Chain A
Amino acid sequence: MADIRFQVHRFNPETDEKPYYQEYQFTPLEGSTVLDCLNYIKWHLDDTLAYRMSCRSAICGSCAMRVNGHAKLVCQTQVKNVVRPDGTVRIDPVGNMPVLKDLIADMHGFWTKMQAVKPYLMPTQPPPSANQEYLQLPEAFRLFEEEATCIMCGACVSDCTSLESDKQFLGPAALAKAYRFSADTRDGRRHERLEELIERGGMWDCVRCNECVQTCPKTVAPMEAILKLRQMALKERLTDSIGARHVTVFTDIVGRRGILDERELPVRSLGFNPVKLLGMAPVALQSVLKGKIRPLEPPHKVKGVEDVQRIHREMEDGS
Chain B
Amino acid sequence: MEYPVHDILIIGGGAAGLRAAIAAAEARPDISVALVSKVYPMRSHTVSAEGGTAGVLRSDDTFDSHAYDTVKGSDFLTDQDAVELFVRAAPEEILQLEHWGCPWSRDPDGGIAVRAFGGMSVKRTVYAADKTGFHLLHTLFQTSLRYSNIRRYDEWFVTALLVDDGRILGVTALDVRSGQFLPLLARAVILATGGCGRVFAFTTNGMIKTGDGMALAYRIGAALKDMEFIQYHPTGLPGTGILITEASRGEGGYLLNAQEERFLQRYVPSRMELGPRDLLSRAIITEMEEGRAFQGPYGAYVQLDLRHLGERLINERLPFVRELTQEYLGIDPVREPIPVRPVVHYSMGGVDTDTEGKTSITGLYAAGEVACVSINGANRLGSNSLSECLVFGARAGRAAAHGAADAPAPRAEVIAGRAADEERRVAAWLTRAEGTERLAALRDDLRHGMERGVGVFRTGEGLREVLGKIHDLRGRLARVTLDDRSRIFNTEWTAALELEFMIDVAEAIAIAALAREESRGSHTRRDFPQRDDVRFLKHSLAFWSREGPRVGYRDVAITRWPPEERKY
Interface residues of A (CB under 8 A from B): 12-15, 30-31, 33, 42-44, 46-48, 50-62, 76, 78, 100-102, 104, 107, 111, 115, 119-121, 123, 127, 130-138, 140-141, 144-145, 148-149, 151-152, 181, 184, 186-187
A-B pairs with beta carbons under 8 A, tally: 151
CB pair A56 B111 closer than 8 Å: no
In the complex, the answer to whether B112 meets A148 with C-beta atoms within 8 Å is no
Given contacts A55-B47, A59-B320, A120-B143, contact A12 B206 (CB under 8 A): no
CB pair B47 A132 closer than 8 Å:
no
- Given A120-B146, A148-B103: A54 and B95 within 8 A (CB)? no
How many Å lie between the Cα of A110 and that of B91 in the bound state? Answer: 34
User: Which single member of B47, B108, B142 contacts A138 (CB below 8 Å)?
Assistant: B108
Please measure, in the bound complex, the distance between the C-alpha atom of A99 and the C-alpha atom of B327, giving whole angstroms: 29
Quote the shortest CB–CB distance from A127 to chain B (angstroms).
6
Do B483 and A15 have beta carbons less than 8 Å apart? Answer: no
Least Cβ distance of A75 to chain B in Å? Answer: 9
Chain A nearest CB from B181 CB (Å) reads 16
B39 touches A62 (CB 8 A): yes
B106 close to A (CB within 8 Å):
yes
Flag if A115 contacts B145 (CB, 8 Å): yes
Given contacts A55-B206, A59-B134, contact A76 B98 (CB under 8 A): no
Contacts of A148 in B (CB 8 A): 103, 135
Residues of A within 8 A of B484 (CB): 47-48, 50
> Are B45 and A57 within 8 A (Cβ)?
no
- Given the contacts A60-B42, A60-B47, A53 and B324 also touching, CB distance less than 8 Å: no
Q: Please report the C-alpha to C-alpha distance between residue A50 and residue B494 in the assembled complex, in whole angstroms.
A: 11
The answer for the CA separation of A121 and B138 in the assembled complex, in Å, is 12
Give the residues from 523 to 548 in chain B that come closer than 8 angstroms, CB to CB, to chain A: none
Expressed in whole angstroms, the Cα–Cα distance for A133 and B95 within the complex equals: 6
Q: Are B95 and A120 in contact (CB under 8 A)?
A: no
Q: Determine whether the beta carbon of B98 is less than 8 Å from that of A100.
A: no
B135: which A residues are within 8 A, CB to CB? 148
Number of chain B residues close to chain A: CB under 8 A: 57
Known contacts A31-B239, A48-B483; A133 and B104 CB within 8 A of each other: yes
Secondary structure class of chain A's binding surface, majority of residues:
loop
Complex Cα spacing A52 to B111, Å = 39
B99 an interface residue at 8 Å Cβ cutoff?
yes
Picked from A48, A104, A120, A145, the residue with its CB within 8 Å of the CB of B100 is: A120
**Would B42 and A61 count as touching, CB distance under 8 A?**
yes
Q: Decide: A13 near B42, CB < 8 A? Known: A60-B48, A119-B145.
A: no
Check B491–A51 contact: CB distance below 8 A.
Answer: yes
Are the C-beta atoms of B492 and A48 separated by less than 8 Å? yes
A-B contacts, 28 listed (Cβ < 8 Å): A42-B492, A48-B483, A48-B492, A50-B484, A51-B491, A54-B43, A54-B208, A55-B43, A56-B207, A57-B242, A57-B324, A57-B328, A59-B48, A60-B43, A60-B45, A60-B47, A60-B48, A61-B43, A61-B47, A100-B489, A104-B489, A120-B142, A120-B146, A133-B98, A133-B111, A138-B106, A181-B101, A186-B101
CA distance A104 to B143 in the complex (A): 27
Q: How far is the CA of A47 from the CA of B491 in the complex (A)?
A: 9
Residues of A within 8 A of B568 (CB): none
Nearest-neighbour CB distance to chain A for B454, whole angstroms, equals 23
Q: Which of A12, A78, A149 contacts B486 (CB 8 A)?
A: A12
Known: A133-B104, A149-B131. 20 other contacts (CB 8 A): A31-B328, A42-B491, A44-B440, A48-B486, A54-B43, A54-B45, A55-B48, A57-B240, A57-B243, A58-B323, A60-B43, A100-B177, A102-B489, A119-B142, A120-B142, A131-B91, A134-B98, A134-B99, A145-B103, A187-B101
- Please measure, in the bound complex, the distance between the C-alpha atom of A136 and the C-alpha atom of B105, giving whole angstroms: 9
Q: Does B457 contact A (CB under 8 A)?
A: no
Contacts of A15 in B (CB 8 A): 486
Q: In the bound complex, how far is the Cα of B104 from the Cα of A136, in angstroms?
A: 10
A residues within 8 A CB of B138? Answer: 152
Bound form: Cα–Cα A192–B99 in Å: 20
A107's nearest neighbour on chain B, judged by CB, is B40
How far apart are the CA atoms of A51 and B483 in the complex, in Å? 16
> Per-residue CB proximity of B318-356 to A under 8 Å, as 1/0?
001001100110000000000000000000000000000
Interface string of B453-491 (1 = CB under 8 A from A): 000000000000000000000000000001110111111
> Are B131 and A54 interface neighbours, CB within 8 A?
no
